[in-house]
A and B are shown apart, each in its own frame.
Chain A
Amino acid sequence: FFKITLRRSPIGLPRKHRAAVKALGLSKLSQTVYHSHTPIIAGMILKVKELLEVKNVKRVPTPEE
């Protein structure tokens, strides 16, 4: 799984970049989201690679803080 965290804001960026951030499910800064390894998600990550922090994890944690 990709563990994706939004580190920089998409304010001021082109519409498609903002759409990619929204499509990844990120609505706030420092928000973390998990996605499976697909080419679609990979393409979105690479579109806004300057804004994100990405890690590979084996399993998605349940809402355990």
Chain B
Amino acid sequence: MFGAFRATIIAYGGLLWKMPAEMNKTRKANVRKRLKAVDKVIAAVAESGVKCKALTLALQLPKESEMKPRDKYTVFSKNHKGYRKGLHKVPKFTKVTMRTSPPGFTS
């Protein structure tokens, strides 16, 4: 672009923040722990016998035991190669439910 200028992140800003592509074992274990905790909350609400739309939608979500590792630790991303990116790259991923992918990208 500008002659000998290499458009690296460092050249632009000066500081580089790196993030690994995959989560390590501890992070994945914590993801599983959080998924199980959310499953418990949904089960408790279902057990109470209350009926509401949010509950019907929540019961359609796969449980942690039914999810493939690919669904547990990665999410759909239209801009990445393979259309998948690590779950840890989603903002607030520890407090957001992202269990399913769009239809056609589930395998």
Interface residues, chain A, with chain B CB atoms under 8 Å away: 2, 7-8, 12-13, 37-39, 41-43, 45-47, 49-56
Contacts and interface: CB of A to CB of B under 8 A. Distances in A.
Given A54-B45, A56-B44, A42 B52 contact: yes
B55 A42 contact: yes
A54 B55 contact: no
B60 to A, nearest CB: 12
11 contacts: A8-B95, A37-B48, A42-B45, A42-B50, A42-B52, A43-B53, A45-B41, A46-B52, A53-B40, A54-B44, A56-B48
Interface of B: 34, 37-38, 40-42, 44-45, 47-55, 58, 92, 94-97
Contacts of B96: 50
B55 A53 contact: no
B97 to A, nearest CB: 6
Given A38-B50, A39-B50, A56-B47, A46 B55 contact: yes
A29 B90 CA distance: 24
B97 A50 contact: yes
A14 B103 CA distance: 26
A39 B49 CA distance: 9
Going nearest first, the 7 A-B pairs with the smallest beta carbon separation are A39-B52, A46-B54, A54-B44, A42-B50, A49-B41, A37-B48, A50-B95
Contacts of A45: 41, 45
B47 A49 contact: no
Given A2-B48, A41-B50, 15 more contacts: A13-B95, A37-B49, A42-B52, A43-B54, A45-B45, A46-B42, A46-B45, A46-B54, A46-B55, A49-B58, A50-B94, A50-B97, A51-B95, A53-B37, A54-B45
